[in-house]
Amino acid sequence: MASENIKKLWGGRFTAPTDELVEEFTASINFDKRLYAEDIAGSIAHARMLGRCQIISQSDADTLITALNQVKVEIESGDFIFSVALEDIHMNIESRLGEIVGPEIAGRLHTGRSRNDQVALDLRLFLRNQLLQVNSLIYDLIHVLVDQAESHQKIIMPGFTHLQQAQPILFSHHLLAYVEMFLRDYERLSDCRNRLSVSPLGSGALAGSSFSLDRQMVADELGFAGITANSLDAVSDRDGVAEALFDFSLLMVHLSRFCEELVLWSSVQFNFVTLSDSFCTGSSIMPQKKNPDVPELIRGKSGRVVGSLVSLLMTLKALPLAYNKDMQEDKEPLFDALDTVVGSLRIMTSMINEIQVNAEVLAEQAGAGFSTATEIADYLVRKGLPFRSAHEVVGRVVAFCELNKLLFTDLTIAQWQQFSLLIKNDLFAFLEPQDSVDAKDLFGGTAHKRVVEQIGLLRLFLEKNKIF
């Protein structure tokens, strides 16, 4: 069955109406209507430029700008009727313009422009705005983590490698490790946003335009730093979308790693932290259960975002220049990933803000598993023993303690000296977790002094970037 109710704006060459199945299959209006604000902003700038350059009359340009603002009001008030038969947001808006100002004036808007450079412009405008929003949410998460690190700056916890007890660290140092990850995410999204700041409008379908367009005027009005240098690349480029999806994917991986630790830490076996009841759910059968659903879901949603990245890359990998209909598949993965990232960041920030840290449990566990062994080896190195020899000595001490169910602090000086005569009474100043933490007094280390130093630097970052 074919649809004949709506005249296609590109229908002059066609003698048969579009099949309804084709309309449904090829239409993107159900998702790209999200670009309405960017599409209208681009059209207003284009109309203003056409009038200024006398490509269309100033009167027609002013009429188009007024009508475009009216369409925006209609969309935002919910009065606008979107049509699948009109395919996409561009055609829906242009068709409505025809109803408001008549098809002749409305038809002048597309002078010197193609849907190819139009959608490329819309995506760049949309991404620049949305990346700013995501960075504002990353900023909020960093702020909460720094606050928590400052509030719990002296609490000692066990550090892990291979999920086995390694060395004592400060809980605040652990939190700041995630801050470093999120800072890199923030910087990557800022870089991506900068690379998106060139306007593709004026590239036409693929070859540019024969009209004397003022591309820079449009770029300036829309806040771009410059204009694209090659029309073929401009209309077929989706690097910004792919880069944003990669940045989102890595951000979600960082969130997922943190969430995995929260799931472990909030378990009965660890009991390092307690999540607020507001961010947990219960069991339908086991009354005692308190399930960490929020961190589990964020952990799960990371795969969804990574999937969006892979989806786009597979779409782009074999496309010849310039535009191909396949590229319509860029928007749904982008929108879904963006919504997932925004939702995850918002709830993560709220959850971390209400977390309860079980300091006594952390302190008790910090000294388990012979976690100060490396500090003892370093003690022997300072006495003149090569590190590999010191490593072996302490390893034999650990084996002895495990066999006899003893701790380092249970051994007498005589027992220590059975393993090395270099060991003196001053060793006992290096056996406690606090001693190990204090010893890591190097920039980037876990010593309290260094954590305070990092918190100070992060406060400067937060103050400098307080634009949201």
The residues that are catalytic are 162, 283
Residue 131 and residue 193 in contact, taking contact as beta carbons nearer than 8 Å: yes
Residue 273 DSSP one-character state:
E
Instruction: Check the CA dihedral 203-205-206-207 and report its sign.
Output: negative
Per the CB < 8 A criterion, the answer to whether 87 and 26 are in contact is yes
Question: DSSP state, 233?
Answer: H
For 98, the enclosing helix (H) or strand (E) is helix 89-101
- Here the tokens at position 103 are 């098809």
Contacts of 108 (CB under 8 A, 6+ apart): 50, 56, 60, 64
The whole-angstrom separation of Cα 262 and Cα 246 is 24
Q: What token pair was written down for 422?
A: 């270099």
Separation between Cα atoms, residue 146 and residue 76, nearest integer Å: 38
Q: Which of 72, 213, 196, 229 is nearest to 123 (CA)?
A: 196
* Closest-CA residue to 341 (of 137, 195, 83): 137
Tell the burial category of 343 from Cβ atoms under 10 Å away from its Cβ (0-12, 13-18, 19+). Answer: middle
Sign of torsion over alpha carbons 83, 89, 93, 94: negative
Q: Helix/strand/coil (H, E, C) string of 116-182?
A: HHHHHHHHHHHHHHHHHHHHHHHHHHHHHHHHHHHHCCCCEEEEEECCEEEEEEEHHHHHHHHHHHH
CA–CA dist 209, 254 (Å, integer)? 45
Closest CA to 196 of 284, 127, 150, 109: 127
Tell me which DSSP letter residue 382 carries: H
Residue (of 397, 207, 395, 239) closest to 330 by Cα position: 239
- In order of 45, 199, 211, 461, the CA distances from 219 in angstroms are 9, 6, 17, 30
